[in-house]
């Protein structure tokens, strides 16, 4: 078996013990890498620890394509138990960290324990655990600058939000890349682990290097030539600000309507107003990342989700403010989706008279100019931020807001793809193991024609979805996503299943088929479900609030998902998955 080193690095921060362990060939074949191996390891050795317990594992994994030249494979996965949801935490990030870890000779890193003083793990020719209390209190960009003085490390670390255990804090790496969702930054902070740095220079073993490189050239060519790549290359993920508005997919004013001047925040306007360059992650042929030069300062440009949540969802048309807030959120290490939904909800509840606290109203008393202060207060657990750092659902319920007016699933805030535009997307949110998650099945792309009938992902009417065939498409899309997050491949790289299977076989020496690959994807979903049930998941947790199911005025009747239709869809989905709870 090649494609991996079969070597996991274990670190106990309580004792500073470091050792390596291997997995069976059967585990590699059945779970592949990335999230597959990550959740399998957590299920086998993680137990049922509370998220902030020293014994809760923080598992970083790469995949069998990571560290190789395969296009858009330079990513890593992080798995733990989420303090935000209480269920399985998983997040995926780009940049260079996964690539460097694999080239350092490790397939992953498993961390347990709690340091007695803030520490940094350094991985290059040797593995060192250093006491660095001087770094505690620094935000991410200052941390990165400090840790790259010695060597050009890839830096993964937390800002003040992670230190203060904000339940939606991120683990940041490289140039503003983020393992953004499920609160993994808080898990890292609870361990007194400030950063991990890595530099590798080894050549990853590949089973058939000659044929593998031929495949790399073939896939790179058709990716580069695809219209999707061209759009992402020129406008970044923000291109959805131009495309999504026509489909009613970009929610405005806390999911209450679509009445917003979307052109004021278009990706084309953004590139006209600012000096923008592209950022490529390791082995990326797309370059969707943006770097903005503003007032002689380089800023990591905002992604679509950030622009949508701090623009239309909040009712804000000021790009300068979004740039400022995005930079602040990255520096503090906080999920921009959760933060944007929370702040838009507060603004909405204040306007509706459902929140009357002067301490909350103050942030919205001068337009949106005080939102930056609100972000800082949440990151610092200061004032109103002390209760807001627990996330929207906990905060809103404590204020008497009805559950169906709270934009969360499994306590995680809903992303910027409106379930009323693509109804199966909402069922994807409800059934996702980590809560509201647009990246477990991108139905908003599928029902616009980006489908793959070879593996049963078939586009259809975005509003007529209550059939077994349509629900099966959702399940198939979720299964295939697990392969992408295990191999690991970036979601923006639309690679044919035949080529994904060939890449896996040429890398590892296994003889996967498309059918086996899809079974593995399904098995990963089922394994996650069993793990979440161990954490207390019940059927009623697979719920989508009515606020994102009810029809918006002026839009088609079919865009609404009634309680009866929701129950019917969930019954069909549970039958496909054979879920009884």
Tokens standing for 208?
């058939």
At 109, is the secondary structure helix, strand, or coil? strand
| pTM, entire model | 0.97
Q: What confidence tens digit (pLDDT) does each residue in 101-155 have? A: 999 999 999 999 999 999 999 999 899 999 999 999 999 999 999 999 989 999 9
Instruction: From 265, 317, 320, 313, select the one nearest 292 (Cα to Cα).
Output: 320
The Cα 139–Cα 165 span in angstroms is 14
The set of residues, in sequence order, having a beta carbon less than 8 Å from that of 126 and lying 6+ positions away, is: none
Q: Which helix (H) or strand (E) holds 523?
A: helix 514-534
The Cα 319–Cα 292 span in angstroms is 12
- DSSP-derived secondary structure letter, 558: G
At 213, is the secondary structure helix, strand, or coil? helix
At 121, is the secondary structure helix, strand, or coil? strand
Q: At what angle do helices 497-508 and 514-534 cross, to 10 degrees?
A: 80
Taking the CA atoms of residue 32, residue 35, residue 39 and residue 40 in that order, the dihedral angle to the nearest 10 degrees is: 0
The Cα 47–Cα 56 span in angstroms is 8
The Cα 378–Cα 338 span in angstroms is 12
Q: What confidence tens digit (pLDDT) does each residue in 197-211 have? A: 999 999 999 999 999
- For residues 401 and 349, is the Cβ–Cβ distance under 8 A? yes
Q: What confidence tens digit (pLDDT) does each residue in 541-560 have? A: 999 999 999 999 999 999 99
Tokens standing for 500?
């994904």
What is the gyration radius of the CA atoms in the chain, in angstroms? 22
- For residues 109 and 154, is the Cβ–Cβ distance under 8 A? no
Q: Examine domains 227-400 and 412-493+513-577 and report if their fold is the same.
A: no
Largest CA distance in the chain: 67
Angle at alpha carbon of residue 287, lines to 281 and 290, rounded to 5°? 95
Phi, psi torsion values for 87, nearest 5 degrees: -105, -165
The Cα 318–Cα 579 span in angstroms is 46
CB-hemisphere CA count at 13 Å for 154? 27
Beta bridge partner(s), residue 18: 11
Tokens standing for 336?
């921009």
DSSP string, 532-546: HHHTT--GGGS---G
What pLDDT shows up at residue 460?
Answer: 97
Q: What confidence tens digit (pLDDT) does each residue in 459-510 have? A: 999 999 999 999 999 999 999 999 999 999 999 999 999 999 999 999 999 9
- For residues 491 and 437, is the Cβ–Cβ distance under 8 A? no
- For residues 504 and 512, is the Cβ–Cβ distance under 8 A? yes
Beta bridge partner(s), residue 257: 252
Q: Hey, which bits of 487-573 come out as E strands?
A: none
- Per-residue pLDDT tens digits of the chain, which is 581 residues long: 799 999 999 999 999 999 999 999 999 999 999 999 999 999 999 989 999 999 999 999 999 999 999 999 999 999 999 999 999 999 999 999 999 999 999 999 999 999 999 999 999 989 999 999 999 999 999 999 999 998 999 999 999 999 999 999 999 999 999 999 999 999 999 999 999 999 999 999 999 999 999 999 999 999 999 999 999 999 999 999 999 999 999 999 999 999 999 999 999 999 999 999 999 999 999 999 999 998 888 899 899 999 999 999 999 999 999 999 999 999 999 999 999 999 999 999 999 999 999 999 999 988 899 999 999 999 999 999 999 999 999 999 999 999 999 999 999 999 999 999 999 999 999 999 999 999 999 999 999 999 999 999 999 999 999 999 999 999 999 999 999 999 999 999 999 999 999 999 999 999 999 999 999 999 999 999 999 999 999 999 999 999 999 999 999 999 999 999 999 999 999 999 999 87
The Cα 482–Cα 478 span in angstroms is 7
Domain ranges, ordered by start, for the chain: 8-198, 227-400, 412-493+513-577
- DSSP-derived secondary structure letter, 552: P
Architecture of domain 412-493+513-577: Orthogonal Bundle (1.10)
Q: Under CATH, which number does the domain 227-400 receive? A: 1.10.569.10
Classify 8-198 by CATH class: alpha beta
- For residues 38 and 59, is the Cβ–Cβ distance under 8 A? yes
Q: What confidence tens digit (pLDDT) does each residue in 346-373 have? A: 999 999 999 999 999 999 988 899 999 9
């Amino acid at each position: 078996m090649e494609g991996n080193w079969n070597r996991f690095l274990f670190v106990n921060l309580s004792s500073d013990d470091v050792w390596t362990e291997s997995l069976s060939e059967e585990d590699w074949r059945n779970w592949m890498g990335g999230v597959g191996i990550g959740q399998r390891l957590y299920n086998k050795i993680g137990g049922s620890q509370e998220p902030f317990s020293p014994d809760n594992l923080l598992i970083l994994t790469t995949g069998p394509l990571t560290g190789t030249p395969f296009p858009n494979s330079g990513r890593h996965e992080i798995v733990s138990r989420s303090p935000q949801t209480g269920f399985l935490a998983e997040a995926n990030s780009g940049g260079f960290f996964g690539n460097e870890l694999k080239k350092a000779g490790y397939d992953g890193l498993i961390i347990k324990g709690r340091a007695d003083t803030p520490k940094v793990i350094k991985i290059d020719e040797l593995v060192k655990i250093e006491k660095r209390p001087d770094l505690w209190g620094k935000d991410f960009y200052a941390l990165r600058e400090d840790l790259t003085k010695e060597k050009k490390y890839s830096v993964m670390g937390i800002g003040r939000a992670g230190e203060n255990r904000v339940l939606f804090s991120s683990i940041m790496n490289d140039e503003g890349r983020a393992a953004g969702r499920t609160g993994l930054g808080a898990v890292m902070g609870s361990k007194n682990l400030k950063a991990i740095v890595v530099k590798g220079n080894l050549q990853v073993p590949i089973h058939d290097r000659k044929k593998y490189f031929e495949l790399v050239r073939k896939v790179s060519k058709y990716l580069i030539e695809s219209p999707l790549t061209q759009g992402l290359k020129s406008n970044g993920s923000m291109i959805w600000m131009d495309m999504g508005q026509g489909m009613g997919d970009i929610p405005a004013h806390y999911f209450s309507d679509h009445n917003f001047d979307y052109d004021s925040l278009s990706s084309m306007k953004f590139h006209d107003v600012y000096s923008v360059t592209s950022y490529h992650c390791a082995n990326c042929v797309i370059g969707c990342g943006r770097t903005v030069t503003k007032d002689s300062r380089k800023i990591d440009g905002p992604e679509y989700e950030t622009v949508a949540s701090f623009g239309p969802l909040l009712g804000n048309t000021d790009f300068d403010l979004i740039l400022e807030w995005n930079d602040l959120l990255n520096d503090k290490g906080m999920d921009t989706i959760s933060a944007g939904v929370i702040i838009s909800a507060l603004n909405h509840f204040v306007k509706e008279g459902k929140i009357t606290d002067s301490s909350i109203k103050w942030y919205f008393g001068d337009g949106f100019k005080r939102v930056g202060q609100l972000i800082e207060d949440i990151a610092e657990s200061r004032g109103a931020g002390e209760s807001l750092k627990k996330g929207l659902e906990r905060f809103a319920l404590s204020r008497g807001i009805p559950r169906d007016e709270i934009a969360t699933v499994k306590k995680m805030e809903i992303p910027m793809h409106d379930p009323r535009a693509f109804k199966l997307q909402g069922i994807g949110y409800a059934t996702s193991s980590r809560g509201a998650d647009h990246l477990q099945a991108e139905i908003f792309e599928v029902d616009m024609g980006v489908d793959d009938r070879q593996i049963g992902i078939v586009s259809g009417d975005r509003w007529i979805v209550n059939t077994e065939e349509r629900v099966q498409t959702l399940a198939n899309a979720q299964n295939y996503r697990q392969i992408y997050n295990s191999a690991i491949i970036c979601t923006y790289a639309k690679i044919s299943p035949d080529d994904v299977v060939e890449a896996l076989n040429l890398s590892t020496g296994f003889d996967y088929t498309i059918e086996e690959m899809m079974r593995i994807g399904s098995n990963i979903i089922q394994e996650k479900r069993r793990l979440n049930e161990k954490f207390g998941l019940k059927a009623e947790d697979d719920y989508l609030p009515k606020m994102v199911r009810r029809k918006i005025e002026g839009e088609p009747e079919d865009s609404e998902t009634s309680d009866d239709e929701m129950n019917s869809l969930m019954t069909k989905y549970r039958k496909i998955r054979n879920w009884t709870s």
